[in-house]
């Protein structure tokens, strides 16, 4: 979540990582296939009933909606010493999307 730069990940937050995909003139987040999202080999967490923990919301101050997806960490992810993390996925028309940002893993 874009609280401060670099993004901080607290290992004691129940193993969940909220990731924001910012919408723009070029990206309508409503066209993202949630099931295709991959955050450093992690999939979007599912809840009861097999729905994905993701929602379209307004995170920043622009006019475009944003997507917040929740990923569940594992021990392998937490201790890799990332300095940046990559998110990949697909749009509903098959277009591949990818982005990365700095990440600080707090002790």
All domains of the chain, ordered by start, with CATH? Answer: 7-106 (2.60.40)
pTM for this model (two decimals): 0.81
- Sequence-distant (≥ 6) Cβ neighbours of residue 97 within 8 angstroms: 27, 32, 88, 89, 90, 91
Q: Residue 17: which pLDDT band, with cuts at 50, 70 and 90?
A: confident
Residue % of the chain over a pLDDT of 90: 50
- The token pair that represents 75 in the structure block: 């021990």
Q: Does residue 91 or residue 83 have the better pLDDT?
A: 91
What are the distances in angstroms from CA 89 to CA 5, 44, 106, 107? 23, 11, 26, 29
3-state SS, residue 14: coil
């Amino acid at each position: 979540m874009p609280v401060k730069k670099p993004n901080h990940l607290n290992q004691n937050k129940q193993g969940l990582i909220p990731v924001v995909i910012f919408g723009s003139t070029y990206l309508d987040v409503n066209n993202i296939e949630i099931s295709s999202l991959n955050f450093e080999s992690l999939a979007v967490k599912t809840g009861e009933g097999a729905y994905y923990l993701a929602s379209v919301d307004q995170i920043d101050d622009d006019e475009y909606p944003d997507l917040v997806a929740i990923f569940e960490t594992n021990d392998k992810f937490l201790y890799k010493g990332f300095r940046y993390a990559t998110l990949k996925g697909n749009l509903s028309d098959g277009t591949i999307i990818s982005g990365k940002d700095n990440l600080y893993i707090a002790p």
